[in-house]
Amino acid sequence: MQIREAAADDWPRIWPFWHRVVSAGETYTWARDTSEEAARALWTSPPKRVYVVEDETGTLVASAYLTPNYGGPAARVANAGFMVDPDHAGLGYGRALAEHVLTAAKAHGFEAMVFNSVVETNPAVGLWKSLGFTVLGTVPEAFDHPRHGRVGLHIMHKTL
């Protein structure tokens, strides 16, 4: 696998699984019918830095963004988003990408990372905990999950 910063022409390879994951409505607090143009802005607009994972065949299997979570006096706290193509899930790409982005965040001067809205039923919660994130709190019944009904959104945090 290769993990690198995204190039402009990577977006068309991210969009198919981005759309599939967001339209499923189980893990992201974005509109399920988000257009490709809006999705590209959400995932890649500066100051976001974008990362991608390619597997051994050159297939783009995962992506992440890294960005400040706040501005001004709190600008040293990062935020990031991660997405793995469901057709390539469970193979360790998410964990490898997360480790890469955490290292990059520290290298870029961030001192902590916060996830603002991790759906509590998302299996990724276990990954984040294994990487040292803790749940600071949970917004109760904030997310309308298509299978589980109203579930909470975790705010998760890790010092870098």
Positions touching a copy of itself (CB under 8 A) are 22, 25, 28-32, 34, 70-77, 111-112, 114, 116-117, 135-146, 153, 155, 157, 159
Would you say 103 or 116 has its CB closer to a copy of itself? 116
CB-nearer residue toward a copy of itself: 1 or 136: 136
Q: Look at the block and give the residue holding tokens 């995962």.
A: 62
Shortest distance, position 17 Cβ to a copy of itself, whole Å:
17
Taking the complex as a whole, how short is the minimal distance between the CB of residue 13 and a copy of itself, in angstroms?
23
Rank residues 98 and 153 by Cβ distance to a copy of itself and give the closer one. Answer: 153
CA distance 142 to 20: 22
Q: Which is nearer to a copy of itself, 1 or 31 (CB)?
A: 31
For the chain, the straight-line distance linking the first and the last C-alpha, in angstroms and rounded, comes to 24
Nearer to a copy of itself, 95 or 138 (CB): 138
From the CB of 26, what's the least distance to a copy of itself, in Å? 8
Q: How far apart are CA 66 and CA 75, in angstroms?
A: 13
DSSP 3-state of 131: coil
| The Cα angle at residue 62 between residues 79 and 17, in degrees rounded to 5 | 105
- CB neighbours of residue 52 within 10 Å: 20
User: And the tokens for 95?
Assistant: 């964990």
Q: Which two tokens stand for residue 113?
A: 């990372």
Q: How far is the CB of 40 from a copy of itself (least distance, A)?
A: 15
Least distance CB 149 / a copy of itself (angstroms): 11
